[in-house]
Amino acid sequence: MTCDTHDVLIIGSGGAGLSLALKLADHSLTVAVLSKFALTAGSTYYAQGGISAVFDAEDSIESHIEDTLNAGAGLCDPEIVRLAVTYGKNSINWLREQGVVFTEETVTTGGTKLHLTREGGHSHRRVVHAADATGKAVSLSLIDRAKEHSNITLFEHHNVVELITVEAGSSTKKAVGAYVLDSTKQQVKTLSARVVVLATGGASKVYLYSTNPQSATGDGIALAWRAGCRVSNMEFMQFHPTCLYHPNAGSFLITEAVRGEGGKLVLPDGSPFMQHFDPRGELAPRDIVARAIDHEIKKRGIDCVYLDISHKSADFIKEHFPNIYEQCLKFDIDITKQPIPVVPAAHYTCGGVMTDSYARTDIANLYAVGEVASTGLHGANRMASNSLLECLVFADRASEDILKRLADIPAPPAIRDWDESKVSNSDEEVVVSHNWDELRRFMWDYVGIVRTDKRLDRAMHRVDLLKQEIAEYYGNFRVTSDLLELRNLVIVAELIIRCAKLRKESRGLHYTLDYPDTDDSKPPQNSILTPE
């Protein structure tokens, strides 16, 4: 089988991957973009809230920085935070040039300006949005631009099996491509490139309940780990406080902007409770709100709490949250008259593959952008709407570095084809589905919003058993997309547990009953794991 070669191979077709592809392709580079499923199946497409950037005259870069640092609970890299925040306005303007239409409002002097909403952790209105479907607007615009670009080749339904690296010196490696499963043909092909970029998103599907689409299985984190990259801060898995609670709703997120526009969290009897947990109430950072809801649900033995914005006018609700209004109506919930039943669900991976300010990893010519990366922006807890900002900023930084260095990177060497001569088709697919279900259930039970050492030990014991089963299965049968995801998920689960066991305190998104207080006796440290 011939090897398909490009200047740059980007694994992932969300906001980070497509932004980077367009910036590189505009400089005459040939770019391959892989999408595990359809181009619209990633987390960017489903993002509701918006993108944080300083546009309001009463707001400031310094205020955005301060809010981000506060949310990150001492583990943000201040230089990275300043870098990201400073790029905010330019990133929004670039998106508008790509055709993204953001919600505007009329000003008293005539004309219009961007409508800004406010979300948890923000001290000002600074969230630029496209109604309540910002990610969809961004994703569709970038996909349209990429399809039009002659230098970009889009590969849908292509799942990476393994990164390909070669020795680059006595103790270093460089990335030269990837083995990729074409799910439509059930065939593994070889793609080579001078530069490889991970833009695969997060890992929230490691949990039973998640707001993320099915694609969020931590593939890039696992690929990088197996290739030899360090990962950090994997214990900081963010649980979104408000996921629609309904047996037929799947994983539908209720954006934080509902609370930003005055929505109240209440118990089944209609009484509010957030004032007992934080003076900021509904606008406290996500970790605090999620733990508060979890506490009330367990304490009272109830199935859910409620998010009520019905005190606002029906016109206001339909204008600001048309998508949520329509989705809830499908389940006979009229949010103009009724509160929305909600529960927390796994939402965002704050840790990931360690990178520098140009998105470079430990392996030469391998970059990581977006949720897959641990840049230092989020620390112990991501502030709302800083995620798409990170995608855009570090896609820009990576493009700058790649364009500067590419002329000095040689063409990739010849790569041998994937060998599956000694494997067969599986006749026991139930093994994959059973292990997938078991993994997500014990991660939810033992490594969820509230943890203990005993729960972490139990989870690690089960991970060790699953790793053995999955390795044996992987070694004997032809790969499938489900098997690849399961193999990656079990690695992600192990990394989360190992990082959680390292942290002998509660900080940000990591809360343990064995160490309920934050350790302020020494400077906070990142949890860093290095492959053996």
* 291 catalytic residue (yes or no): no
Q: Tell me if 50 sits within 8 A of 127, measured CB to CB.
A: yes
What residues have CB less than 8 Å from 398, skipping those under 6 apart? 20, 197, 358, 359, 360, 367, 369
Q: Which of these, 284, 277, 333, lies nearest to 310 by C-alpha position?
A: 333
Beta-bridge partners for 376: none
Torsion of CA 46, 47, 49, 54, to 10 degrees: -150
Cβ neighbour number for residue 356 with a 10 Å cutoff: 15
Burial 452-490 (b: 16+ CB within 10 A, else e): eeebbebbbebbeebeebbeebbeebebbbebbbbbbbb
Cα distances (Å, whole numbers) of residue 128 to 124, 139, 324: 12, 15, 18
In angstroms, the CA 39 to CA 155 distance is: 9
Q: Which of these, 340, 344, 325, 182, lies nearest to 251 by C-alpha position?
A: 344
Structure tokens at 472: 């044996």
In angstroms, the CA 472 to CA 432 distance is: 12
In angstroms, the CA 354 to CA 44 distance is: 21
Q: Are strands 366-368 and 528-529 parallel, antiparallel or unpaired?
A: unpaired
**Which amino acid, one-letter code, is at 389?**
L
How many helices, marked H, and strands, marked E, lie in the chain? 14, 20
Q: Tell me if 49 sits within 8 A of 384, measured CB to CB.
A: yes
**Which sign, positive or negative, has the C-alpha torsion 488, 490, 491, 497?**
positive
In angstroms, the CA 507 to CA 494 distance is: 20
Q: Which long-range contacts (CB under 8 A, 24 or more apart) does 186-191 make?
A: 186/478, 186/480, 188/161, 188/418, 188/420, 188/479, 189/1, 189/4, 189/418, 190/1, 190/3, 190/4, 190/164, 190/415, 190/416, 190/417, 190/418, 191/3, 191/4, 191/5, 191/6, 191/9, 191/32, 191/34
Length of the chain: 532
Q: Are strands 173-182 and 187-198 parallel, antiparallel or unpaired?
A: antiparallel
Question: What H or E segment, with its residue span, contains residue 152?
Answer: strand 152-155
Structure tokens at 483: 């098997």
Q: Are strands 31-34 and 51-52 parallel, antiparallel or unpaired?
A: unpaired
Active-site residue, from 126, 259, 286, 291:
286
* Catalytic (active-site) positions: 286
